Amino acid sequence: MKVVVLAGGMGTRIREERKPKPLVEIGQKPLLWHVMQIYKKYNFNEFIICLGYKSSLIKEYFIKSYKKSLKTNIQIFKNKIIITEGKSPYLSITLVDTGVKTKTGGRLRKIRNLLEDESFLLCYADDLKNVNMNKLVKFHRKQKSIVTLTGMNYSERFGILKIRQNKVVDIIEKPQNTNWINGGYYVMEPEVFHFIKNDNVSFETESLKILTRKNKVSIFKYTGEYVPLDTLNDKIRLEKLWNSKQAYWKTW
């Protein structure tokens, strides 16, 4: 199965406007590299990376990373780059310009022809979770849904104060939320493209809602650790985890 990575985002909230968010580094390696390692651990080695903001920098990163390898073949086209490496282990990376302002559904729509009407995996380039991909795929196949998403039950960022008559009577430190949220890391069937009409469609807020109403979306529950990367403080926290060898997503 091919892995589609949405990598068109900016890094403004973590003060990284000079580079696209997928190139923000944790442990001197881009977020995009970390995400790919998670999949490679489970022998998913074919990646289609949907580029947007400052796509040239991501292309440059991959070309520099692989051009020295004698096993690697790099093909450069007008709007995409194909990198393949060896036969064992096999690696294929296709970098596709999908537009700076294209919405997530549109990015998917633009790479449909590369998926050959097969089931595929989808993730975001800034999302680090220790998801067991083999279990995720096996679960998806049993459900017979068009989309399976990884649901996450997360802890609140801040503690909650319980107050009675201007007195604090209890402090609940980062309580567990009782609701499940969309944690990404999808498995999809090619029928999903019937629900993406044009490039201005947001997959999460439009296509996924329609599929949900049609009872075509399953949830694979993820209960492991997770730190979002939305702020500079988040980045610092992830760096500390990596440097102290406590990076929960590092399973390779």
Domain boundaries, the chain: 2-243
Amino acid at the residue 6: L
203: three-class secondary structure by DSSP = helix
Residues with Cβ within 8 Å of 53's Cβ and at least 6 positions away in sequence, in order, are 8, 9, 10, 20, 21, 100
In angstroms, the CA 196 to CA 205 distance is 11
118: three-class secondary structure by DSSP = coil
Q: Which long-range contacts (CB under 8 A, 24 or more apart) does 95-99 make?
A: 95/49, 95/51, 95/55, 95/58, 95/59, 95/62, 96/48, 96/49, 96/50, 96/51, 97/51, 97/52, 97/55, 98/8, 98/50, 98/51, 98/52, 99/8, 99/52, 99/199
pLDDT given for residue 8 in this prediction: 87
Residue located via tokens 């780059």 = 81
In angstroms, the CA 147 to CA 194 distance is 12
In angstroms, the CA 147 to CA 108 distance is 14
Give kind and range of the element (H or E) at residue 168.
strand 167-172
Residue located via tokens 């399973």 = 251
Choosing among 3.40.50.10800, 3.30.360.10, 3.90.550.10, 3.40.50.720, the CATH entry for 2-243 is 3.90.550.10
pLDDT given for residue 98 in this prediction: 94
10-residue mean pLDDT series, the chain (252 residues): 91 67 93 96 95 93 86 87 80 93 94 94 95 96 93 70 71 68 93 94 93 92 89 92 95 89
pLDDT given for residue 182 in this prediction: 87
pTM of the model: 0.87
Identify whether the C-beta of residue 121 lies closer than 8 Å to the C-beta of residue 38: no
Identify whether the C-beta of residue 50 lies closer than 8 Å to the C-beta of residue 111: yes
In angstroms, the CA 99 to CA 109 distance is 12
74 exposure class (CB count in 10 Å sphere: 0-12, 13-18, 19+): middle
In DSSP terms, which residues pair with 97 in a beta bridge?
51
pLDDT given for residue 114 in this prediction: 94
pLDDT given for residue 143 in this prediction: 92
pLDDT given for residue 155 in this prediction: 62
In angstroms, the CA 54 to CA 107 distance is 15
In angstroms, the CA 131 to CA 152 distance is 11
